[in-house]
Chains A and B, each alone.
Chain A
Amino acid sequence: MSINGIPFLLFLAAWTAVYYLTPRRFQYLALLGASVCFYLAYSVRAAFYLLFTVAATYCAGLVLGRLHQWERTRLAQAGADRPAIKRQGKRRRRLVLAAILLLNFATLALFKYWNAWLGSLSRLGQLLGLSLQFRPLELLLPLGISFYTFQTAGYLIDVYRGKAEPERSFLKYTLFAAWFPQMIQGPINRYAELQPQLIRGSAFSADSLKYGIQLILWGMLKKVFIADPLAGAVAEVYGNFGQYSGAVSFLGAALYCLQLYCDFSGGVDVVRGAARLFGVEMAENFRRPYFARSLDEFWRRWHISLGEWMKDYLFYPLALSAPLNRLGRRLRKRLGARAGKLAVPCISTVAVFLAVGVWQGPGLSNVAYGLWNGGLMSLSMICAPWCLKIRNRLGLQEENVWFRAFQILRTCLLVVIGRYFSRAGSLMQALRMLKHTLLHFGPLNPGVFTCFGLSGADWLGLGLACGVLLAVSLFQEWGVPIRKTLEKQHWLVQFGAAFGAVLLLVVFVYLNSDYVAIEYVYENV
């Protein structure tokens, strides 16, 4: 069920009605019903895989809770050896956590990477002159497996750390793990933020309904009028870059950045809007990333929920782990204070971005994408004092408009280069395309735009849509609350804006027999 299609919209309308007609204390059951129906409509087989993860993580959460309880009871006893009890409790919890995380992520790896790994092994065999033939497993990638695996892992780590109480109701926990809007595009929600909203229910609110519909429309417009038209042009450039100049290759990578942003953030807007219809506020996932002044800032504005997840559950534990700290101390003694200080954050950053790269897909190009980002961020940490000196010598102030523009353009350039790797079919293709860009840059012939399967009218429409997106993003950057500003206008203006958006979608999508729905880039990752 595509989230841009009429069936999904009807599904949302029907379950919204059911939700608000249900007594408040049972509303969570309506959400659970909607989630189960949504997932079964996708695939009954995949629903069993989901149920397996839900059941396993639910039980593990209860066990971790019991272990906390055991520790508290023992500590309360007179004459208890507190350090020994704490050590023992932690060791047991760690064992349970490690086992369940291993099971969870091994399941994810099996579905997502197994066949790709077999293919790589066969190719390696060919290179070595061995005939290795593997039969790929016929696996259906369960919808949202990455999102629910990360979300349930976050829940378990929170319970392990004692930051969250385990959910005792299986139905309520199932709703948290299988909440249908997050299955398509994420975001990766936190248990402490999402679960109370899902469980407590909400009274009917016209505001929630209006805001939800606005978000859905905005997301769809981004997807349909920017991301989808660009998809063909981007595929053409990445597939046949050799036929064009290097400048076109670069343009293709830049257009892919725009396509991906509108596709992913548009999808998340639809998802967050759908959740909002039920009074549920899901985590923000994008904050105008292409206005970032550094790569570090870019990653705090792009796929925020994944970045936060990686920071709390991978980066900090890794950076503060005993082995890395020992390494930092050793380097401090051997190479000086600065090397020791930088080693730990640099190693942890590279490790985190490797994980982000692998999360995107199995190929070596994704590993390279992770290394590109992690390596550059580490390099910027190392070079920070020299950059500061140069900036001071040149008298460049942080607030200087030209300096800010330079920083934004520099960040965009680095992001575009990174996208050579994340979009290319293989590492070799990415490197060839990059080489082609550098060695055959050449002029950007205007005639090339007609080769992308887009007419002049299509480019005009695309330009207009991008203009609107840029204007809205600029206002948001300047702190103008778009929705509140719209709400202050006469009702006719508000109605006109919503009606215009619906009309555009009806004319260009639902009544347009030529329109071909394109799958979301991160659908089913």
Chain B
Amino acid sequence: MEQLLSILTECCPDIDFEHETALVDDELLASLDIVMLVGELNETYGISITVDDLVPENFNSAQGIYALVQRLRNG
């Protein structure tokens, strides 16, 4: 989780990823941020996030993103 938080903070330094739970719903994460983030996550964890994974539940919080990464890593 710590590694993920550092990736997230590097991508969007203005956002408090530890506490925000409506990153997409409150429009804190724009589509451009999400695409940049997906590139980083794919590269770092060797996963492949697809369009079908791009639902608010997966990107609304750091926990949601973490769960998505875990799910994709475990196949």
**A residues at B contact (CB < 8 Å):** 161, 296, 300, 311, 315-317, 319-320, 325, 328-329, 332, 340-342, 344-345, 348-349, 377, 381, 388, 398
Contact = CB atoms under 8 A, between A and B. Distances in A.
A349 B51 contact: no
Interface in B4-51: 13-14, 27, 30-32, 35-36, 38-40, 42-43, 49-51
Interface of B: 13-14, 27, 30-32, 35-36, 38-40, 42-43, 49-52, 54
Given A316-B54, A320-B50, A332 B43 contact: yes
Please classify the interface of chain B as helix (H, G, I), strand (E, B), loop, or mixed, using the class held by over half of its residues: helix
Nearest to A313: B51
B39 A325 contact: yes
A320 B42 CA distance: 10
A341 B39 contact: yes
Nearest to A349: B32
Contact of B32 (A317, A320, A328, A381): A381
A300 B43 contact: no
Given A316-B54, A317-B51, A296 B35 contact: no
A398 B51 CA distance: 32
A161 B51 contact: yes
Contacts of B54: 316, 320
Nearest to A348: B35
A316 to B, nearest CB: 5
Given A325-B39, A342-B36, A348-B35, A316 B51 contact: yes
Top 9 nearest A-B pairs (CB, nearest first) are A319-B35, A345-B35, A311-B31, A345-B32, A316-B51, A317-B51, A345-B36, A316-B54, A341-B39
Contact of B36 (A300, A329, A341): A341
A332 B42 CA distance: 13
Contacts of B40: 341
Most A Cβ at <10 Å: residue of B27, B31, B50:
B31
Given A320-B38, A345-B35, A398-B14, 20 more contacts: A161-B52, A300-B27, A300-B30, A315-B35, A316-B31, A316-B35, A316-B51, A317-B51, A320-B49, A325-B42, A328-B39, A340-B39, A341-B39, A341-B40, A344-B35, A344-B39, A345-B32, A348-B35, A349-B32, A388-B13
